[in-house]
Amino acid sequence: MEDFTPLRISTIKPNTQILFNLYIYFKDHFLLYKENGLTIGEDLFKKLKEQKIARFFITATEEVNYQKYLDKLLNDTMSKDDVPVTEKATLAEGVAGTAVERMKKDPNSRLAYNMTTQAAGTLRKAVANNKEALKMIMGKKVEEDSIIVKHCLNVSSLSAKLAEMRKIDSAMVDNIAIAALIHDLSITRSDAAEQALHRRPKKTLTVDELKIYNNHPRNTADLLQDKPYINATIMELVLNHEETLSGSGPQKKKKLTPEEEILSIVDCYDKKVSLFDMSPKQAVQSMTIDELGNYGLDLINDLKKLLKEEDII
Ligand SMILES: [Fe+2]
Ligand SMILES: [Fe+2]
């Protein structure tokens, strides 16, 4: 059977010419939905949303054409002052979601990784340049089976913003934003039982469950290893994303680089919100009570300040 690649429907703009055949997945089959060269009207998008169809598919051989289409769409949208923030946030979120889902499907795909770096930059710029964008992206509700992917998007956009606030060098902010998008890749590929472990706070896990849980940073790094196009800093960030200053992480590291501490604190915060269903307010409170000693107090305070500035708490 032909190989199909998923893409979020939010990365296709209504009334623009598509440069590839678009398929939908329906009753166990891939059906040709729109042919190369045609456009999709807004009414059809509305219908798809009503039918809860969130993804199109393209054949793997057309990925390059999709990438070209997307490059143009991002160019035409993200830096234009007259495009509303909602549209920018939706597109950035859609591109990042598509990239992470492609990495989930094929961690060895260089095209998927390239799209991930592009998506991380898009998210970073969207939240840096548009007030409200961070709140919109982080506040988006998703279906249960997309929660880990959503968590990765949240961690990417919030950690990039926090890193900029902490005056981290720009190339390093990119590393953080990229690493965040793929930091939990192995979880997105694991079975329901293992995924369920990530919906519970660590302290409620049994010894055996904790062992499985603690393997996920290493498993993710294993999925990404031996790829010359993924730099060593990103690999370290992925491997160390659960480490804390108190040594409570899987590798029991106590010394973290500033970028590792930022990724870890944001991951910790967003787990509370996205995976343990706390409100942002409750999560921040828990950061100052339960995570004291795991992160520097000034970093906890900066996170709090940022969430306030962004109108999230
Ligand atoms: Fe994790
Ligand atoms: Fe995570």
CATH number of the structural domain spanning residue 281:
1.10.3210.10
Residue 13 falls within a domain, yes or no? no
d(CA 263, CA 243): 10
- Gap from CA of 273 to ligand 2 centroid (Å): 11
State the pTM of this model.
0.95
Residue 49 falls within a domain, yes or no? no
Residue 228 falls within a domain, yes or no? yes
Residue 209 falls within a domain, yes or no? yes
The total number of residues written for the chain in this structure: 313
Average confidence (pLDDT) per 10 residues, the chain, 313 residues: 89 94 92 93 90 91 94 94 95 97 96 97 95 94 90 98 98 98 97 94 94 97 97 98 97 97 98 96 96 96 98 95
Q: How many domains does the chain have?
A: 1
Going by C-alpha positions, the residue among 309, 264, 310 that lies closest to residue 287 is 264
Q: Which ligand is nearest to the CA of 151?
A: 2
Instruction: Judge whether 147 and 275 are in contact, CB under 8 Å.
Output: yes
- Gap from CA of 65 to ligand 2 centroid (Å): 32
- Gap from CA of 148 to ligand 1 centroid (Å): 9
Q: Which ligand is nearest to the CA of 241?
A: 1
- Gap from CA of 271 to ligand 2 centroid (Å): 6
- Gap from CA of 310 to ligand 1 centroid (Å): 24
Give residue 39's pLDDT: 92
- Gap from CA of 147 to ligand 2 centroid (Å): 11
- Gap from CA of 162 to ligand 1 centroid (Å): 18
Going by C-alpha positions, the residue among 294, 247, 239, 289 that lies closest to residue 266 is 294
Q: Please state whether beta strands 4-8 and 29-34 pair in parallel, antiparallel, or not at all (unpaired).
A: unpaired
Which residue has tokens 């095209």?
A: 111
Residue 31 falls within a domain, yes or no? no
Q: Which ligand is nearest to the CA of 180?
A: 2
CA 106 to chain centre: 16
Q: Which ligand is nearest to the CA of 216?
A: 1
Q: Which ligand is nearest to the CA of 268?
A: 2
- Gap from CA of 45 to ligand 1 centroid (Å): 34
Instruction: Judge whether 104 and 144 are in contact, CB under 8 Å.
Output: no
CA 164 to chain centre: 18
Residue 100 falls within a domain, yes or no? yes
d(CA 112, CA 99): 6
Helix (H/G/I), strand (E/B), else coil: 168: coil
- Gap from CA of 217 to ligand 1 centroid (Å): 6
Q: Which ligand is nearest to the CA of 273?
A: 2
Residue 218 falls within a domain, yes or no? yes
- Gap from CA of 283 to ligand 2 centroid (Å): 15
Q: Which ligand is nearest to the CA of 271?
A: 2
Residue 232 falls within a domain, yes or no? yes
- Gap from CA of 237 to ligand 2 centroid (Å): 12
Give the structural domain span for 179: 78-309
Q: Which ligand is nearest to the CA of 155?
A: 2
